[in-house]
A and B are shown apart, each in its own frame.
Chain A
Amino acid sequence: AQSVAQPEDQVNVAEGNPLTVKCTYSVSGNPYLFWYVQYPNRGLQFLLKYITGDNLVKGSYGFEAEFNKSQTSFHLKKPSALVSDSALYFCAVRDVNTDKLIFGTGTRLQVFP
């Protein structure tokens, strides 16, 4: 079965510093990977996706993610964090057999001024 794991419940980073939110995946076949962000009292918003092609994927709000096949990882990154980036981040994988989007448990990002 397809799955993703987010090993960190929370990540704390100072404003202006680079941030990384980790995600590893387990799939049979080609991975179709996504990152979503959830702000308080809001639904999830799409950030970026990896389907095929370049291993570095650029998305919304200055975020990017690096696909690493050998490490089965898809970490979310941003060179310089903003306080407004504080939110809950979800990694997800598309199950090609059922077409379902399977979410990880989420990582809370806290950016301190």
Chain B
Amino acid sequence: DAGVIQSPRHEVTEMGQEVTLRCKPISGHNSLFWYRQTMMRGLELLIYFNNNVPIDDSGMPEDRFSAKMPNASFSTLKIQPSEPRDSAVYFCASSLRTGVNEKLFFGSGTQLSVL
């Protein structure tokens, strides 16, 4: 299995532009998570889906952020409009199912720089 695939690996954009990050989870996994990593705040859970349905989006910082999972093999995280403080590494992770016993498999992340 290729693991969790994220694209792009790097994104540089200007303030005010729309940014779309993409994620393909591991085939057969039912849960998908979006995390953001910064030096100041560490790893923050933004949103997670179970069976393509958003379960908890309480970590989404503002209305500028939105996430979708139209099917079991694809998810997007969109920022519109982007701001310099959104600069971070965004990780997608998937797991076979929800539950306290389940481990997460992470993608390699998208390094976002908003100028």
Residue positions of A touching B, CB distance < 8 A: 32, 34, 36, 41-46, 49, 51, 90, 94, 96, 98-106
Contact of A49 among B55, B103, B107 (CB under 8 A): B103
Contact of B42 among A41, A45, A105 (CB under 8 A): A105
* Inter-subunit contact A32/B101 (CB<8 Å): yes
C-alpha gap A105/B48 in the complex (Å): 20
Nearest B residue (CB) for A42: B108
C-alpha gap A105/B33 in the complex (Å): 18
Asked if A34 meets B48 with Cβ closer than 8 Å, knowing A42-B108, A90-B43, the reply is no
Contacts of A49 in B (CB 8 A): 101, 103
Asked if A44 meets B108 with Cβ closer than 8 Å, knowing A32-B100, A32-B101, A100-B56, the reply is no
Asked if A43 meets B91 with Cβ closer than 8 Å, knowing A100-B45, A100-B48, the reply is yes
B79 to chain A, nearest CB (A): 20
A5 to chain B, nearest CB (A): 12
* Inter-subunit contact A44/B45 (CB<8 Å): no
What are 5 pairs between A and B in contact, CB < 8 Å?
A: A41-B109, A44-B91, A99-B48, A103-B42, A104-B42
C-alpha gap A6/B91 in the complex (Å): 21
Nearest B residue (CB) for A101: B104
B50 to chain A, nearest CB (A): 8
* Inter-subunit contact B43/A99 (CB<8 Å): no
